[in-house]
Amino acid sequence: MFQGKKVWLTGASSGIGLALARQLAEAGAQLILTSRRPEVLEEVRRSLANRDDHRVLPLDLAHPEQAAETARKALDGEVIDILINNAGVSQRSRVIDTDLAVYRQLMEIDYFAVVALTKLVLPGMLERRSGQIVTVSSVAGKVGTKLRSGYAGAKFSVLGFMDCLRAETADQGIIVTSVLPGFINTQVAHNSLTGDGTALGHEDPDNAGGISPEQCALISLKAIADGKAEVVVGSGLSKLAPFLQRFAPGLVRRMVAKR
């Protein structure tokens, strides 16, 4: 499935993105690796299988319009077979304590950057009637919980965007896949924004007890290869939560209020 495919992967320097990069490279994909720090991206590129097949494209997705324009110039019409919108930032703060600027930052990275990069590659895919757009959302995009109001808001939004995109391109050869990780054992909690925009700086027990990023990447890539519309990745309650939200929303409301 991925052999010889040009795959643009954001958030490629750590966590789920790094695991995706390694597995995609092993599968023969040609990667365009994006995150903020070029030196870290270059280290990642050099560590991958077939490293000379890959390139780095540093972007700050907190500024989506600028990032998209930089990418447009760098790619210069290059064919992208698969776009994987994986970059994102989480949050750990109560609504009452969270600055409006933090909500805006979460939306810029977790929602508007997805829209901007998708719109950049979509015209070429439509012209070729071929391509796949993947966004790594979250179980938080289906079930809102305490301390994640801005993150959940952005992830709910991006799932809605992907649903609309899927409907609009259903007969035009484009595959649209949403990946919803539950609790994954990455640094996501460490990097989560607090109410004033500073990083939390430590793990939380939910993520620390989650599945590995390698397991998450493996399941996600199978869903991408199979052309699935949506896949929930995780274990335990975080995997069950979207199902329960659909069929027993009252139960879910009581559960999240007690956690």
Residue 151 among the catalytic residues = yes
Query: Which entry of 2, 103, 112, 151 is annotated as an active-site residue?
Result: 151
Alpha-carbon distance of 180 to 185, in angstroms, equals 14
Give the DSSP letter string of 45-104: HHHSTTGGG-EE----TTSHHHHHHHHHHHHTT---SEEEE-----B-B-GGG--HHHHH
| Residue 69 in tokens | 């324009």
User: Is the Cβ–Cβ distance between 90 and 148 less than 8 Å?
Assistant: yes
User: Is the Cβ–Cβ distance between 212 and 220 less than 8 Å?
Assistant: no
Residues with active-site annotation: 151
